[in-house]
């Protein structure tokens, strides 16, 4: 028998091993769907399931339910729209938001999937796992949770990092870290000084959050805040990393944690930030993690800082 190199390499190539298994299962699932004359692809079924269970949702909400990127969800949902299985309407509460829902054809398809196919697939999968299906699912959930806490990139390339919440003894670090980067590129404005000098009163006590990144051997080297703004908006603000820790992916670690915290606060759908074109590496990072340039945010909030010429909203 030919050697299985991927198996021999073990956990070091866990992602490739899981992808191989996933591809194999997806291929078989596609064959089953074709044999049962069901007009849907395996990867489309979870999106239909979200709309069936949750009702009309935005693209962003569907993506969050499945823990996938918004561009991936957009492409998949567009295909379902073209197939006549999903339709688009405007949210009566917010005409700017587009809601996706199942069409009558989509509902009929879900009836067939839920009644005719999924119970049979579930039984086959349990048999395939030899009764250890729950153990497998628990292990997968634990790995996903560990990746949420700290990515494989961070575990491989970066020093040990941890996130800390605001305490009064970190107020000085909040000021110092932010003053360092702002004064390096711009001039401190009155709004900067007010927020940085009174983080508890201006941010935490008003329902916001302040996070800090602590690096093993270096201490607290980064910070950012999620601050309540008007009309249900939240601003990601005062994000900075000390010179001593730059190049260690502290900013990416901190931004990912801030987005995770914003989701927990229910703030992710209306999370924005203000910056300047001179901060090109930071803007690239914001784009990478799901922020998009937004004219509405600029109109509503851009005047808060003289240096602001870029406004972005989280769409990840």
Structural tokens at position 197:
């000098």
- Which residues make up the CATH 3.40.630.30 domain(s) of the chain? 158-314
Run of H or E including 29: helix 14-35
Q: From first to last of its 316 residues, what are the pLDDT tens digits of the chain?
A: 789 999 999 999 999 999 999 999 999 999 999 999 999 999 999 999 999 999 999 999 999 999 999 899 999 999 999 999 999 987 666 656 789 999 999 999 999 999 999 999 999 999 999 999 999 999 999 999 888 877 888 777 666 788 999 999 999 999 999 999 999 999 999 999 999 999 999 999 999 999 999 998 899 999 999 999 999 999 999 999 999 898 888 999 999 999 999 999 999 999 999 999 999 999 999 999 999 999 999 999 999 999 999 999 999 7
Q: What Rg, from alpha-carbon coordinates, does the chain have?
A: 23
The Cα–Cα gap between 111 and 132 comes to 28
Which of 68, 85, 67 lies closest to 77 in space, CA to CA?
85
- Which residues make up the CATH 1.10.10.10 domain(s) of the chain? 36-149
Kindly report the number of other CB atoms within 10 A of residue 205's CB atom. 10
CATH code of the domain occupying 36-149: 1.10.10.10
Is residue 47 within 8 A of residue 32, CB to CB? The reply is: no
CATH class of 158-314: alpha beta
Can you give the pTM of this predicted structure?
A: 0.55
Quote the pLDDT of residue 94. 60
Quote the pLDDT of residue 96. 66
Quote the pLDDT of residue 234. 98
Secondary structure of residue 271 in the 3-state scheme: strand
Is residue 43 within 8 A of residue 30, CB to CB? The reply is: no
Structural tokens at position 271:
């999370």
Is residue 217 within 8 A of residue 159, CB to CB? The reply is: yes
């Amino acid at each position: 028998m030919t050697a299985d190199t991927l198996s021999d390499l073990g956990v070091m190539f866990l992602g490739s091993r899981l992808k191989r298994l996933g591809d194999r299962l997806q291929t078989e699932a596609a064959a089953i769907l074709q044999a049962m004359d069901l007009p849907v692809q395996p990867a489309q079924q979870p999106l239909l399931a979200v709309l069936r269970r949750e009702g009309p949702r935005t693209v962003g909400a569907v993506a969050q339910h499945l823990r996938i990127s918004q561009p991936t969800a957009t492409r998949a949902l567009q295909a379902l729209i073209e197939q006549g299985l999903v339709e688009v309407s405007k949210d009566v509460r917010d005409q700017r938001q587009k809601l996706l829902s199942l069409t009558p054809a989509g509902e009929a398809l879900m009836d067939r999937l839920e009644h005719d196919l999924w119970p049979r697939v579930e039984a086959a999968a349990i048999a395939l796992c030899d009764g250890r299906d729950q153990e497998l699912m628990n292990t997968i959930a634990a790995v996903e949770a560990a990746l949420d806490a700290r990515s494989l990139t961070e575990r491989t390339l970066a020093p040990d990092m941890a996130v800390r919440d605001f305490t009064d003894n970190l107020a000085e670090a909040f000021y110092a870290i932010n003053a360092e980067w702002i004064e390096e590129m711009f001039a401190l404005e009155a709004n900067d000084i007010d927020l940085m000098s009174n983080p508890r009163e201006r941010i935490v006590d008003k329902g916001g959050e302040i996070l800090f990144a602590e690096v093993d051997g270096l201490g607290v080297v980064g910070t950012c805040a999620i601050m309540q703004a008007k009309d249900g908006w939240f601003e990601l603000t005062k994000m900075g990393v000390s010179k001593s820790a730059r190049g260690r992916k502290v900013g990416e670690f901190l931004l990912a944690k801030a987005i995770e915290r914003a989701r927990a606060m229910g703030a992710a759908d209306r999370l924005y930030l203000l910056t300047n074109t001179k901060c090109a590496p930071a803007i690239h990072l914001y784009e990478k993690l799901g922020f998009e340039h937004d004219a509405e945010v600029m109109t509503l909030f851009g005047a808060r800082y003289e240096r602001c010429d870029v406004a972005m909203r989280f769409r990840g």
